[in-house]
Amino acid sequence: MPLITRFIASQLSTLPQLPKVDLSGRVYIVTGANCGIGLEIVRHLVPFRPGKIILACRNFQAGEQARAEILRQAPDVDIEVWKVDLASFASVKAFAKRCHTSLGRLDGVAMNAGMMGAAYQVTEDGHEIVTQVNALSPIYLALLLVPLLRKTLQQDISAKKPLPNPYIPRIIFTASRIAENSPTKFFDPEHPLAQLDSKEGYRKGTRYDESKLVEHSLVRHLIGVVPDLVITSTCPGFVDTPLYRDGGPAALAARAIGRSSEVGARSISHAILLLYKSVNYYADCKPYRLRIDWMNRKEGKKFGINFWKESLAVFEQSSPGLLAAAGLTS
């Protein structure tokens, strides 16, 4: 079925309501939680009484506004706003350090924050900003948090805590099926990161799609090296959110046919509540086969392996010892 037909069928499908699950004592992080899909993920979790939810936001004030809004509906939920800027590895590192020192456990991370194409911009770490925010930093943060997620699993096993589903700590990425639409002909399988970071390699119109494809490629590798946690990429569908704040046809289309943020968040929340093993992709509240033939061809595989290796080298340089701590040797 062509992409457009699958897209329309998906947008028109009715997604299931979330099941009732007891999350008491469990601790969650939602990145990009101050608006759009992230805020709705938080709203989905709150009625199930989790022990704590961290709203991980780059704009602290916007996070506090979201927190106040949620507390008006559910005054006794423990919600904190912690600052993190995915355009800065130093910020990601500081956030992860705070998690390790302040949280006794971590049951799930909704790795949701993301941005649309902007004018070409390089971060303080030397990477093209959309690539860093949408792909590199979410994986970096995931790897930094793996030891805490594993510790939580071990605690529950030692305490013989009954695990619903069974409930294994998880990292759920908000990716996008738009990755199927990404051009791949400009990707350099030999030097993926250098090409993505270069000004010559940057096209504003397609960078978002490319960033979601390379994010998904990294998530697939992450699943391979962290088999004991639940990890997946999810797609919320086409959702009317501030992501399209720059206006243009996409904003108009989102307003006209986009899902509400609540419906868009359902696949992600569904995975947070119910998924019991890693799957490459999850959309419309069920496993989904992403159709990107290029990823399975020689040059796509080479790109994927090299991009993974280059990214790990960047993370290890930023946090020496990270790979060993996450149980990875290369």
Residues forming the site for ligand NAP (CB under 6 A)? 32, 34-38, 57-59, 62, 84-87, 112-115, 133, 174, 176, 235-236, 238-239, 241-243
- The string of DSSP codes covering 257-314 is HPBPHHHHHHHHHHHHHH--S--SEEETTEE-----HHHHSHHHHHHHHHHHHHHHHH
Query: Out of 93, 182, 211, 212, which one is annotated catalytic?
Result: 212
Q: How far apart are CA 231 and CA 277, in angstroms?
A: 7
Strand partners, 31: 56
Query: Out of 28, 140, 202, 208, which one is annotated catalytic?
Result: 208
Judged by beta carbon, residue 250 or residue 328, the one nearer ligand NAP is 250
Q: Contact 193/311 with Cβ under 8 angstroms?
A: yes
Judged by beta carbon, residue 243 or residue 271, the one nearer ligand NAP is 243
140 catalytically annotated: no
176 catalytically annotated: yes
Shortest Å distance, C-beta 15 to ligand NAP:
14
Query: Out of 88, 176, 217, 261, which one is annotated catalytic?
Result: 176
Shortest Å distance, C-beta 39 to ligand NAP:
8
Shortest Å distance, C-beta 260 to ligand NAP:
11
Q: What is the dihedral of CA 59, 64, 67, 72, to 10 degrees?
A: -140
* Residues near 253 by beta carbon (within 8 Å), at least 6 away in sequence: 238
Judged by beta carbon, residue 95 or residue 307, the one nearer ligand NAP is 95
212 catalytically annotated: yes
Judged by beta carbon, residue 153 or residue 218, the one nearer ligand NAP is 218
Q: How far apart are CA 46 and CA 247, in angstroms?
A: 32
33: tokens are 């939680």
Q: Contact 33/66 with Cβ under 8 angstroms?
A: yes
| Residues designated as active site | 176, 208, 212
